[in-house]
A and B are shown apart, each in its own frame.
Chain A
Amino acid sequence: MVNLDTILQQPVYGTAHAEKTALLADTLRELTLYHDSNCPEYHRILRAFGYTRKRIGAVEDHRDLPFIPVRLFKEYEMRSVSESELFKTMTSSGTTGQQVSKIFLDRQTSSAQSKVLARIMCEYTGKKRLPMIILDTSAVIKNRMMFSARGAGILGFQMLGADRVFALNEDMKLDIAALEAFLEKHSGERIFLFGFTFMIWQHFCKVLRETGERPDLSRGVLVHGGGWKKLADQHISTEAFREELKELCGITDVHDYYGMVEQTGTISMECECGHLHPSTFSDVIIRDSFDFSVCPHGKKGIIQVVSVLPHSYPGHSLLTEDEGVIVGEDDCPCGRKGVYFHVLGRLKNAEIRGCSDTYAEKS
Chain B
Amino acid sequence: MLKNPEQIEVLCGKLFDEYGSVFPLPPFSQKVCSFFGSLASLLMKHPQSRNYPDVVAFGFFCRQANIEGLRCRYEGQTENRLGRGISFHIAPSNVPIIFAYSMAVALLAGNACIVRVSSKPFEQIEIVCGCIRELLASSEYSVLADYITLVRYPRSRKINDELSSVCDLRVIWGGDSTVEEVRCSPLPPRSNEITFADRCSAAVFDAEAVLSSKSALAHDFYNDTYLYDQNACSSPRIIYWLGDEDICERAAEHFWGMVHGYLLEKYSVEPVISVDKYTAACRLAIEKDMQVIPMPDQLISRMRVYSLSPDLEKYRCAGGSFIEYFDTSLEALAGLVSPRIQTISYYGKLAEKLRSFVIEHRLNGIDRIVPVGKTADFDTLWDGYDLILQMSRRISVQ
Contacts and interface: CB of A to CB of B under 8 A. Distances in A.
Q: Do A and B bind each other?
A: yes
Interface string A125-151: 000000000000000000000000000
A359 B274 contact: no
A350 B272 contact: yes
A47 B282 CA distance: 10
A351 B155 CA distance: 19
B224 to A, nearest CB: 12
A197 to B, nearest CB: 23
A45 B177 contact: no
A350 B270 contact: yes
A363 B294 CA distance: 38
Contacts of B233: 354-356
A336 to B, nearest CB: 28
B336 to A, nearest CB: 19
Nearest to A42: B286
A291 B296 contact: yes
B178 A48 contact: no
Given A289-B298, A358-B94, A353 B286 contact: no
B318 A44 contact: no
Given A302-B275, A353-B231, A76 B269 contact: no
Nearest to B153: A363
A360 B157 CA distance: 11
A321 interface: yes
A20 B228 CA distance: 45
B290 A350 contact: no
A357 interface: yes
B297 A357 contact: no
Interface string B270-291: 1111110011011111100011
Interface string B41-63: 00000000000000000000000
A218 B247 CA distance: 74
B290 A48 contact: yes
A360 B232 contact: no
Interface in B17-65: none
A41 B283 CA distance: 9
A239 interface: no
A358 B181 CA distance: 11
Contacts of B154: 363
Nearest to A291: B297
B95 interface: yes
A75 B228 contact: no
Contacts of A49: 281, 285, 292
A69 B270 contact: no
B175 interface: yes
Contact of B231 (A48, A355, A359): A355
A192 to B, nearest CB: 36
Contacts, number: 151
A76 B279 CA distance: 12
Contacts of A319: 275, 278
A49 B298 CA distance: 14
A289 B274 CA distance: 6
A357 B231 CA distance: 10
A261 interface: no
A349 B182 CA distance: 26
A302 B271 contact: yes
A289 B198 CA distance: 29
Contacts of B279: 69, 71-72
Given A350-B270, A357-B177, A72 B275 contact: no
Interface string B173-217: 111111001100000000000001011000000000000000000
A363 B283 contact: no
Most buried by A among B95, B119, B235, B275: B275
Most buried by A among B93, B98, B271, B318: B271
B285 A354 contact: no
Given A323-B271, A347-B271, A347-B275, A356 B231 contact: yes
Contacts of A321: 272, 275
A348 interface: yes
Most buried by A among B94, B95, B290: B94
A354 B181 CA distance: 19
A363 B153 CA distance: 9
Contact of A289 (B271, B290, B291): B271
Given A48-B291, A353-B229, A358 B93 contact: yes
B298 A292 contact: yes
B292 A48 contact: yes
B292 A50 contact: yes
A83 interface: no
A355 B275 contact: no
Contacts of A354: 94-95, 228-233, 235, 318
Nearest to B96: A353
Given A44-B285, A72-B279, A292-B298, A355 B173 contact: yes
B319 interface: yes
Contact of B319 (A50, A76, A350): A350
B250 interface: no
Contact of B270 (A41, A50, A75, A348): A348
Contacts of A45: 282, 285-286
Given A290-B298, A350-B319, A354-B95, A363 B272 contact: no
8 closest Cβ contacts across the A-B interface?
Answer: A354-B231, A48-B285, A359-B178, A356-B175, A289-B271, A291-B297, A358-B93, A360-B177
15 contacts: A48-B292, A69-B279, A71-B279, A289-B270, A351-B94, A354-B229, A354-B231, A354-B232, A354-B233, A357-B174, A358-B92, A358-B94, A359-B93, A359-B174, A363-B93
Given A290-B269, A357-B175, 9 more contacts: A347-B275, A352-B318, A353-B95, A354-B318, A355-B98, A358-B92, A358-B95, A358-B174, A358-B178
